[in-house]
Amino acid sequence: MKNIFSLLLVSILIASCGTARLVKPIKKSEVFNQGFTGVVIYDPEKDKVLYAQNEDKYFTPASNTKMFTFYAARKILDTHVNSLNYKEEKDSLIFWGTGNPAFLHPDFNDVTALELLREADKKLYWADNSEQVTAYGSGWSWSWYKYYYGPQRSALPMYGNIVRFSKSVEDKDLSFSPSYFKNFIQRNSEMPASTYVIDRDKDTNAFQYNIVLDSVAFKTDRPYATSPQLTMDMLRDTLGREVQKIDYDFAKVGSYSKLKGVETDSLLKQMMVISDNFIAEQLLVLASDQLFDTLNIRKAINYAVENYLNDLPDRPVWVDGSGLSSYNKFTPRSIIALLKKIREEIPGEEMYAFFPAGGETGTIKSWYHSGGDRPYIYAKTGTLNGTHCLSGYLLTKSDKVLYFSFMHNNYIIGSNELKREMQKVLFSFHEKY
């Protein structure tokens, strides 16, 4: 018996020394020490924190926020989202938005609402509930209005609230969709660029572009500026029939129906894997519609925190769906607790499909290669100016699954330096733990 206890003690000491060797590069990292870093690496099988640094401090999470949106949306939404709210009265079909981001979106082409409206043998009335959703979130940068990652939020999005521009090598000029914007887009040969450039006026939908290199090929999105009038005009143009606007407060009285659209999981996968900010924001609008029959992102967040996240180690400071807001604040240990919830509630391999896979898909396609048959990292990235985070699941060669969260704030070095350093640490755990 004495020998058995002696062997056990030796094995514990060896294991401890092994873990110490794995975490030493984190403690001694000159890269991580150039900013403010929080780390937790956790073994759920042993219910043991293998390493923690600033785990109880609040960090700006950037797109790590999307994991909270993901969890809330999975809890609140049905298997298919509410595509449109509508009611029929005698010769009228009255409809209003639920926040559904897939309506005519080029990546989803949800036409359920389009078919309802086109085929209706009644007059169409749009009840304008636009004022319930602000175009931009609190803490967003004003300069993002023209970039692919900054589409405006809205009650009745159309075409993803973006214009999609594309050009092949063979084409001399670009193509775009939706065609509604053909009179808003002009070529300006004086715009400087190395290959091509597309710009938009801040307050209008006046797009200008220039293609300097004819052989260039690309596909890119640019947000358009939403407004009630533009929604009316685009509805008429898309449907090819008259649509009139009426007061929402009048329309919502009485019973109405919710038209089901695309599968919720299809939206969740796009949000998580490619870090789609627009989908993330609209998922919280959809959640509010589902819960309260009104569109209020703040109410949806508060509901999720009080009902699903009230047992986190630290109460989240959660402002938007995407993480574009610098006001979001989470702690590394709360993110670990969320990862635990997700894994417990989504069975087996199904869970991994919602996360970018190292060396294979999404925002970490070029990083964290396993060198084997399957990825060893399934994790959500998060990047803003001076912020880079990576949180998720690490698969080891000994068939363990670890949870980890790296949160880096206030650094001035390039994010690739942080990625290379994290890559070394995580791969060591993959090989040796």
The Cα–Cα gap between 383 and 409 comes to: 10
Q: Does some domain include residue 220?
A: yes
Instruction: State the virtual CA torsion across 262, 364, 368, 45 in degrees, nearest 10.
Output: -40
Last residue of a domain, one of 194, 228, 263: 263
Looking at residues 280-284, what average pLDDT do you find?
98
Q: What share of the chain is helix, strand, coil (3-state, %, to 5)?
A: 40, 25, 35
Q: Are residues 255 and 354 in the same domain?
A: no
Contact 404, 42 (CB under 8 A): yes
Q: Are residues 236 and 166 in the same domain?
A: yes
Q: Are residues 290 and 158 in the same domain?
A: no
Render pLDDT for 163-206 as a digit per residue (tens, 0 to 9): 999 999 999 899 999 999 999 999 999 999 999 999 999 999 99
Beta bridge partners of 199: 208
Last residue of a domain, one of 201, 232, 263: 263
Looking at residues 147-157, what average pLDDT do you find?
97
Q: Are residues 155 and 203 in the same domain?
A: yes
Last residue of a domain, one of 230, 263, 296: 263
End-to-end alpha carbon distance in the chain: 28
How many angstroms separate the Cα of 225 from the Cα of each of 128, 150, 217, 232? Answer: 17, 11, 26, 13
Q: Are residues 47 and 29 in the same domain?
A: yes
Q: Does some domain include residue 274?
A: no
Looking at residues 65-88, what average pLDDT do you find?
98
Looking at residues 269-293, what average pLDDT do you find?
98
Q: What is the DSSP pairing of strand 92-96 with strand 80-89?
A: antiparallel
Rg (CA), the chain: 24
Domain with 337, as residue range(s), is: 21-73+286-432
Write a three-state SS string for 388-428.
EEEEEEEECCCCCEEEEEEEEECCCCCHHHHHHHHHHHHHH
The Cα–Cα gap between 219 and 414 comes to: 26
Q: Are residues 221 and 324 in the same domain?
A: no
Interior angle at CA 372, CA 273 and CA 28, nearest 5: 75
| Res 17: pLDDT | 55
Element (H, E) at 229: helix 228-239
Q: Are residues 341 and 246 in the same domain?
A: no
Q: Are residues 67 and 92 in the same domain?
A: no
Q: Does some domain include residue 158?
A: yes
Looking at residues 328-341, what average pLDDT do you find?
98
Q: Are residues 102 and 216 in the same domain?
A: yes
Residue with tokens 């938009």: 200
How many angstroms separate the Cα of 109 from the Cα of each of 39, 43, 231, 252, 274? Answer: 40, 41, 17, 27, 18
Q: Does some domain include residue 276?
A: no
Residue with tokens 């007059």: 123
Q: Does some domain include residue 3?
A: no
Render pLDDT for 408-419 as a digit per residue (tens, 0 to 9): 999 999 999 999
- Interaxial angle between packed helices 65-76 and 297-308, expressed in degrees from 0 to 180 and rounded to the nearest 10: 80
Q: Does some domain include residue 47?
A: yes
Nearest by Cα to 293 from 98, 126, 131, 127: 98
Sorting pLDDT into bands at 50, 70 and 90, what band is 10? Answer: very low
Q: Does some domain include residue 421?
A: yes
Backbone angles phi, psi at 24, to 5 degrees: -55, -45
| Res 347: pLDDT | 82
Q: Does some domain include residue 378?
A: yes
Nearest by Cα to 155 from 97, 91, 108: 97
The Cα–Cα gap between 29 and 419 comes to: 13
Q: Are residues 365 and 302 in the same domain?
A: yes
CA atoms within 13 A on the CB side of 407: 26
Query: Residue 389 is part of a domain; what is its CATH number?
Result: 3.40.710.10
The domain tally of the chain equals 2
Interior angle at CA 160, CA 291 and CA 352, nearest 5: 70
Sorting pLDDT into bands at 50, 70 and 90, what band is 104? Answer: very high
Locate 189 and state its tokens. 């040969």
Q: What is the DSSP letter of 356?
A: -
Nearest by Cα to 354 from 336, 372, 379: 379
Q: What is the DSSP letter of 31?
A: T
Nearest by Cα to 417 from 18, 31, 16: 31
Looking at residues 380-406, what average pLDDT do you find?
97
Flag whether pLDDT at 241 surpasses 80.
Answer: yes
Render pLDDT for 349-372 as a digit per residue (tens, 0 to 9): 899 999 999 999 999 999 999 998
How many angstroms separate the Cα of 420 from the Cα of each of 318, 333, 369, 376? Answer: 29, 23, 12, 16
Three-state DSSP state, 267: helix
* pLDDT-above-90 percentage for the chain: 92
Q: Are residues 339 and 230 in the same domain?
A: no
Q: Are residues 352 and 234 in the same domain?
A: no
